[in-house]
Amino acid sequence: YKGITVEEKLTEQTGVIGEKIEIGAFKTLEAPFVGSYIHAGNKIAVLTGLSKAGDNAEEVAKDVSMQAAAMNPVALNEDGVDQATIDKEIEIAKDQLRQEGKPEEMLDNIAKGKIKRFFKDNTLVHQAFIKDNKQSVAQYVADALGKDAEVVAFERVALG
């Protein structure tokens, strides 16, 4: 940070506020381009990795990071959603459908549609982009940086 180590900055801040500061955890991200966003109040921070840099990569990464801060996706894409979460969502959907009186033989097919909707709403690259909900986050990145550009990773940290 501005030419000093993290340890030196912690020592400096300890002197400023009079309280010992310790880092409990930290996240890193490796990608061809990494950008960030820290939400007002310093309670949410996001790192976003893009597959390539470009003239406006910093702005794109910040926009995608803001998206992740606001929408709190469970994963980058459907491959990042663990099977237990998928199974739970399918069971929730089936229970709702049963309560609606849907026939048992239709539940699997309808639940598959509902899980696709879950991925669209809860995975970063498939979410509707908050600055233009007519396109997904993936479409926004491709439009802004080129067809071969994509979000390759993100890390979201929230305090409290």
Please compute the mean of the pLDDT values over residues 64-87 and round it to a whole number.
96
| In the chain, alpha helices (H) | 6-17, 57-71, 83-99, 107-122, 137-145
CA pseudo-torsion sign 79, 81, 85, 89? negative
Mean pLDDT over each residue of the chain, to the nearest integer = 92
Q: Please give the torsion angle defined by the CA atoms of residues 51, 55, 42 and 74, in that order, rounded to the nearest 10 degrees.
A: -30
At 60 the pLDDT is 98
pLDDT at 24 over 80: no
Mean pLDDT (whole number) for 102-114: 90
CATH level 2 (architecture), domain 28-81+123-158: 2-Layer Sandwich (3.30)
Average pLDDT over residues 54-58: 93
- Pick from 71, 85, 53: nearest CA to 137: 71
Tens of pLDDT along 124-133? 999 999 999 9
pLDDT band at residue 23, thresholds of 50, 70 and 90?
Answer: confident
Helix or strand or coil: residue 148? coil
Position 1 scores a pLDDT of: 52
